[in-house]
């Protein structure tokens, strides 16, 4: 690793997470002190290099095979020689080879990036229907102020609404599938953490003693068992000219495999890809909605203008959502983006493992194996025209879009150098347009059916907490819901 710049190496501290699990808290490191320099954090998962945001321009030119996002998440880093042996042994993040998340697929990526995005407009009504069904069947009546565990309830809403497009109707209401598709992520994360406590030489055996690791295998087997009858049902109807073929991600994946002649694609692979797609989609979207509702409950002055906007744009269709309505909800879009600016999914994006040596424009050189990421959550680095960078201004982006030449900029789903929460460049999150729609549909439902506020004793917006570089909403705070009218 060449040291053209002054390097700082800091050790992240280990804390006890609310769940009881030890975790590394990067907030304990004075990030601001190093924000304009390249520094390395020695974490329990191995060393990780943090780059100032400007280097995203340099990383952008490396392909996904040269600088891999998946390997940065799942894989081992190769620490420099001065890092103690113990770290070398433990330097794996989510040990993807055991947790099965280390699985990249052109079929899955194409189905999200191309097919899902192409079909977005056609699904607004379906998703709205699923969201309404979920609130009607899963939520208490809320005739009086009722505490709602958002982390729990929204998991179900997002899972079912996403499943409507990923696996179609009726499978999107199959309790076993919803359970399987939501629990896999927790099993992979918790199982990975537990298995990491074992020496690498012992892990092939130790995996059988970690309950979550056994469940991961069970999740995959269970997913296949649920998909087989669904595929048979579809096959039985295939020849029937009276039956409209389903339009969902199951079909897109099968079609892609057929067109590319991918011989490795079978029912088992389809079930695995569906589990992985649900994992990428559900937890990120749920968290974004929770953060937004926390900001709304803490700032009730925004509720009425947002509600009015929703009612106004849907007036022509008696309140039934259509695809153009989502684009017209500019205040809601702005509020969601401002929430994401203050509560991003992570303080570092563009996480990459160098699969080949990486050279930055200033001459810094990183050998293959280094794990790099860009430091992206610097509120004060917002462009001056955005106004006070620290203030929460829910309509900040709405106002910025009022200039005709900027009408299509600053949208929630538009990544830019100043908004990297979905990543940046060609490999930015392919599901962001879908996520934007889902979040709007769910928030529009909540805003037009309920009043919300925090439980007694919560003053202001509850502080987020960190797990590694991830920003999480405080799960101990309850939001109360009350039906309108």
Shortest Cβ 299–ligand HEM spacing (Å): 20
Choose between 213 and 469: whose C-beta lies nearer to ligand HEM. Answer: 469
Choose between 227 and 350: whose C-beta lies nearer to ligand HEM. Answer: 350
Return the C-alpha torsion angle 109, 281, 247, 424, nearest 10: -40
Choose between 105 and 207: whose C-beta lies nearer to ligand HEM. Answer: 105
Shortest Cβ 182–ligand HEM spacing (Å): 14
Choose between 69 and 369: whose C-beta lies nearer to ligand HEM. Answer: 69
Return the C-alpha torsion angle 306, 308, 309, 314, nearest 10: 130
Residue 444 CA to residue 329 CA, distance in Å, equals 9
Return the C-alpha torsion angle 158, 124, 484, 399, nearest 10: 100
Shortest Cβ 191–ligand HEM spacing (Å): 21
Choose between 95 and 469: whose C-beta lies nearer to ligand HEM. Answer: 469
User: Which tokens belong to 94?
Assistant: 């989510």
Shortest Cβ 374–ligand HEM spacing (Å): 9
Residue 372 CA to residue 364 CA, distance in Å, equals 12
Residues forming the site for ligand HEM (CB under 6 A): 69-70, 112, 277, 280-281, 284-285, 288, 345, 349-350, 421-423, 427-432, 434-435
Degrees to nearest 5, angle at CA 411 with 407 and 415: 125
Residue 279 CA to residue 302 CA, distance in Å, equals 31
Alpha helices in 267-329 (DSSP H): 267-298, 303-313, 323-328
Q: Are 440 and 333 in contact (CB under 8 A)?
A: yes
Residue 365 belongs to what H/E stretch? strand 365-366
Residue 430 CA to residue 422 CA, distance in Å, equals 9
Residue 155 CA to residue 284 CA, distance in Å, equals 10
Choose between 341 and 432: whose C-beta lies nearer to ligand HEM. Answer: 432
Shortest Cβ 415–ligand HEM spacing (Å): 8
Shortest Cβ 293–ligand HEM spacing (Å): 14
Shortest Cβ 153–ligand HEM spacing (Å): 17
- For the chain, the C-alpha Rg in angstroms (whole number) is 23
Choose between 191 and 345: whose C-beta lies nearer to ligand HEM. Answer: 345
Is 8 known as a binding-site position? no
Position closest to ligand HEM via CB:
431
Point out which residues pair with 15 in neighbouring strands: 23
**Parallel, antiparallel, or unpaired: how do β-strands 348-354 and 371-375 relate?**
antiparallel
Shortest Cβ 159–ligand HEM spacing (Å): 11
Choose between 206 and 280: whose C-beta lies nearer to ligand HEM. Answer: 280
**Parallel, antiparallel, or unpaired: how do β-strands 358-359 and 67-68 relate?**
unpaired
Task: Could you list the residues known to form a binding site, using ranges.
Answer: 429
Question: Where is the binding site for heme, in residues?
Answer: 429
């Amino acid at each position: 690793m060449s040291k053209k710049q002054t390097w700082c190496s800091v050790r992240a501290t280990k804390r006890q997470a609310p769940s009881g699990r030890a975790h590394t808290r990067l907030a304990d490191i004075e990030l601001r002190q190093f924000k304009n320099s390249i520094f390395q954090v020695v974490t329990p998962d191995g060393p990780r290099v943090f780059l100032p945001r400007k280097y995203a321009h340099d990383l952008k030119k490396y392909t996904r095979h040269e600088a891999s996002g998946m390997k940065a998440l799942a894989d081992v880093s190769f620490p420099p020689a001065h890092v103690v042996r113990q770290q070398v042994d433990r330097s794996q993040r989510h040990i993807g080879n055991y947790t099965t998340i280390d699985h990249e697929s052109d079929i899955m990526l194409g189905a999200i990036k191309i097919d899902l995005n192409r079909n977005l407009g056609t699904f607004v009504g379906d998703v709205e229907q699923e969201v309404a069904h979920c609130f009607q069947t899963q939520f208490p009546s809320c005739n009086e102020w009722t505490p709602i565990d958002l982390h729990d309830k929204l998991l179900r809403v997002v899972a079912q609404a996403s499943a409507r497009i990923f696996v179609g109707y009726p499978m999107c209401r199959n309790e076993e599938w919803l359970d399987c598709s939501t629990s896999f992520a927790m099993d992979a994360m918790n199982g990975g953490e537990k298995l990491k406590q074992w020496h690498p030489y012992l892990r092939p055996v130790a995996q059988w003693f970690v309950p979550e690791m056994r469940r991961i295998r069970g999740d995959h087997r269970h997913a296949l068992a649920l998909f087989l009858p669904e595929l048979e049902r579809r096959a039985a109807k295939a020849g029937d000219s009276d039956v409209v073929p389903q339009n969902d991600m199951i079909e897109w994946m099968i079609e892609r495999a057929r067109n590319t002649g991918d011989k490795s694609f079978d029912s088992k692979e389809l079930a695995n890809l569906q589990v992985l797609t649900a994992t990428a989609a559900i937890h990120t979207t749920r968290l974004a909605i929770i953060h937004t509702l926390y900001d709304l409950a803490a700032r009730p002055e925004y509720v009425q203008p947002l509600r009015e906007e929703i009612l106004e744009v849907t007036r022509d269709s008696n309140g039934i959502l259509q695809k153009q309505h989502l684009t017209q909800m500019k205040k809601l879009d702005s509020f969601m983006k401002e929430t994401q600016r203050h509560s991003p999914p992570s303080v570092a994006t563009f996480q990459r493992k160098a699969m080949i040596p990486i050279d930055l424009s200033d001459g810094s050189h990183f050998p293959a194996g280094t794990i790099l990421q860009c430091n992206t959550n610097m509120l004060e680095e917002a462009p001056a025209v955005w106004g006070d960078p620290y203030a929460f201004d829910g309509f900040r982006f709405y106002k910025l879009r009022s200039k005709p030449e900027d009408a299509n900029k600053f949208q929630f789903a538009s990544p830019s150098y100043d908004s990297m929460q979905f990543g940046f460049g060609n490999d930015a999150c392919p599901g962001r347009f879908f996520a934007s729609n889902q979040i709007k549909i769910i928030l529009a439902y909540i805003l037009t059916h309920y009043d919300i506020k925090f439980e007694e004793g919560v003053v202001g917006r509850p502080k987020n907490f960190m797990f590694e570089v991830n920003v999480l909403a405080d799960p101990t705070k309850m939001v109360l819901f009350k039906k309108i009218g």
